[in-house]
Structure 1
């Protein structure tokens, strides 16, 4: 937020008290303010520890609160009815399908403006429908510039920045991964959430959506040519990067034996789920 940037990070940078490099993001709706600030002050603080990374927006909520936006209803809330609130702020779709936090036409307009200003955009999307919605927005943005050439490798972004989809936790299938690859955005996964959500994932989504290729589907994303990065999502979860990498590869905590190795790993565990 701007409050964090101006009241915490900038004073710490001025005092030489930042022990690590920080890339700060501000709300996407304030992209004009950020562009003006960069034009005046530059992208990086002179001490080399603070950088203005870009802008951030939310497409949906979280799995635990049933606000991640899904194509199909949550399996453990069948008694509720989907409520479409046409014309409401953000165009929210609430109920058993999750919550849309921003209208997609509004998101496209904001992303288009930030991109034209040379700013990176990161959009939080956890549910499979939210991921598809954001991919569709970035695909439309990509179509507004000359199409990418695939002759010398995978698709490259033709817009001014490498935009990001934060979490990409649940996808509808390989077609989503292929579309993400085609629009040349970066999917930023948080594999430690595979462990923290293990207790509710199958309950919320059912076995099929919680399983291989649909949840934390990193191998599927890579196989379809998508750009993939990992983040910890600290402080929502612990700052344990090696545990996160282990979870991404094996879909279970270190030291837990998978079912196909003679043990029990619970929902989503086992080598067969690494896709």
Structure 2
């Protein structure tokens, strides 16, 4: 059955940037686009009432499973002191009637926002809430986990803890754990957290997708295979595949597969590699995790942190280990996307990907924050894609000068990458930041935080245009998943994945972009969200 959407301003975002006022959809795909002067009326004709249509947004790096999981935990985002964070945990325990022995989980705290004590939450802090039930709360970046004494007891971690490769267990002067676990070390705690039922996991995923649809997301590149405590990657893959087969997914998922080195042979022997799946769930890239975050000072740097001269961050795998995983991925025609925030991690990723170049696999680096001029050029020279998160500027602009000093000038240089001809796509790394695409576009275009600071913009020469930002959120994200021929622009033959909003992003005051919302979202021609 055909549906005609008319009387709108339909931005195709194709190469010619064609604009039409009428679009015809049939069987989930666009079958025609044209302009009419007369008003169309009749059955299956939807009047857009002059509103604006864009291709659906495609977040190129997100954590769907984590976002759904965190929705049921203590929300510590925005807490301005340790005192406030502890009060929220106490209130959560009381309101949810948590019993002795049950785990209390939370996420979102950021010590840089604490006004009373700018150190990480630790067991001494969390013990003030309770020592009768285990507490584990993640920093906003997800790279630091803080626990209380009960959690340490359950994990049998006390004096002289064994340090984990690619991680760190913080200790005091007497070599006792203080309840702070960085990077890979957090596994020592997470493996003791009871797993939820598959029905609970599924419910949290569907709830997260519903919220994503409300913000105009129709596709995502998501890192989920290691995100559900107590489940191995095979169980999560099977869950997503069943949901896709049953038509339960209202978003297209390109899975960024975070796997352990010892799991790769089994993964490939089962027939898994980039592109395997259907239109709503398919295997994407092999996700490599090379370092941590700038805020936690775990991003791996070539030179020490300017505000911590003895610290270089944490590289979570050796170059030899990365080489082996990249080589195995290339052997099985699997794309690679590496998490790299610090310049050492990014340099290592590019080096490993370029040794046996596979440009046909469209390999990339996720985050791409601390860089220098030569490194930026190396992205183009080696045909490496860049998955960036402009919304990170909201927090990072407050700390980056302290963390890396003059290295800041060549960091977050995404306009330079675009001008070099690098394929740059937009993501949010949610739940590290919310997946609101308008916040992301606003920060890319204005280079200001959500409070409008700094007034002159942060490294304003690196601001992207609205057009560059929209393409990064649509076409470029589709390009990164080899799907630019079926989505990312509104053209005949492509999926009818689109959004309707009230404002024209090309004409609105850039400072107002952050306040925009979505009126309707369509996936495969089906309305999956309506504000009304």
Where relative contact order (Cα < 8 A, 6+ residues apart) is larger, the structure is: 2
Instruction: Give yes or no for contact 1:108–1:141 (8 Å, CA) kept in 2.
Output: no
Alignment of 1:31-46 (within 5 A): 31-38=264-271, 43-45=276-278
Give secondary structure in 2 for the equivalent of 1:234: coil
Q: Which residue does 2:367 correspond to in 1?
A: 167
Give secondary structure in 1 for the equivalent of 2:432: coil
Show CA shifts across 1:76-129 (max 9, x none): 213x3xxxxxxxxxxxxxxx1111111112211211111121111111000011
Instruction: Give yes or no for contact 1:115–1:159 (8 Å, CA) kept in 2.
Output: no
Change (3 A) 1:21 1:273: closer
Q: Which residue does 2:386 correspond to in 1?
A: 187
Q: CA–CA distance in 1 between the matches of 2:238 and 2:272?
A: 20
The Cα shift of 1:8 comes to 3.8
Match of 1:52 among 283, 286, 306: 283
Structure 1: which 5+ runs fail to align?
81-95, 143-157
Show CA shifts across 1:6-49 (max 9, x none): 36423322432111111123234233333233369x8114xx31
Q: Which residue does 1:130 correspond to in 2?
A: 345
Q: CA–CA distance in 2 between the matches of 1:68 and 1:4?
A: 31
Match of 1:271 among 450, 456, 460: 460
Change (3 A) 1:270 1:106: closer
Q: Which has the larger radius of gyration?
A: 2
Show CA shifts across 1:205-232 (max 9, x none): 22x223x3x2211012223332221112
Show CA shifts across 1:55-78 (max 9, x none): 111111111110101122112213
TM-score by length of 1: 0.75
Show CA shifts across 1:174-226 (max 9, x none): 210111111111111111111122222222222x223x3x2211012223332
Q: CA–CA distance in 1 between the matches of 2:313 and 2:241?
A: 36
The Cα shift of 1:160 comes to 4.2
Instruction: Give yes or no for contact 1:54–1:120 (8 Å, CA) kept in 2.
Output: yes
Q: CA–CA distance in 2 between the matches of 1:25 and 1:37?
A: 17
Alignment of 1:248-259 (within 5 A): 248-253=444-449, 256=452, 258-259=454-455
Structure 2: which 5+ runs fail to align?
1-224, 226-232, 465-532
Q: CA–CA distance in 2 between the matches of 1:250 and 1:233?
A: 20
Alignment of 1:30-109 (within 5 A): 30-38=263-271, 43-45=276-278, 48-78=279-309, 80=310, 96-109=311-324
Q: Which residue does 1:227 correspond to in 2?
A: 423
Q: Which residue does 1:205 correspond to in 2?
A: 404
In the alignment, is residue 216 of structure 1 matched against residue 412 of structure 2?
A: yes
Q: CA–CA distance in 2 between the matches of 1:222 and 1:196?
A: 23
Instruction: Give yes or no for contact 1:182–1:226 (8 Å, CA) kept in 2.
Output: no
Count of aligned pairs: 230
Q: CA–CA distance in 2 between the matches of 1:194 and 1:39?
A: 36
**Structure in which a larger fraction of residues adopt helix:** 1
Q: CA–CA distance in 2 between the matches of 1:4 and 1:100?
A: 29
Instruction: Give yes or no for contact 2:336–2:363 (8 Å, CA) kept in 1.
Output: yes
TM-score by length of 2: 0.40
In the alignment, is residue 117 of structure 1 matched against residue 332 of structure 2?
A: yes
Instruction: Give yes or no for contact 1:174–1:221 (8 Å, CA) kept in 2.
Output: no
Give secondary structure in 2 for the equivalent of 1:166: strand
Instruction: Give yes or no for contact 2:290–2:345 (8 Å, CA) kept in 1.
Output: yes
**Structure in which a larger fraction of residues adopt strand:** 2
Change (3 A) 1:162 1:123: same
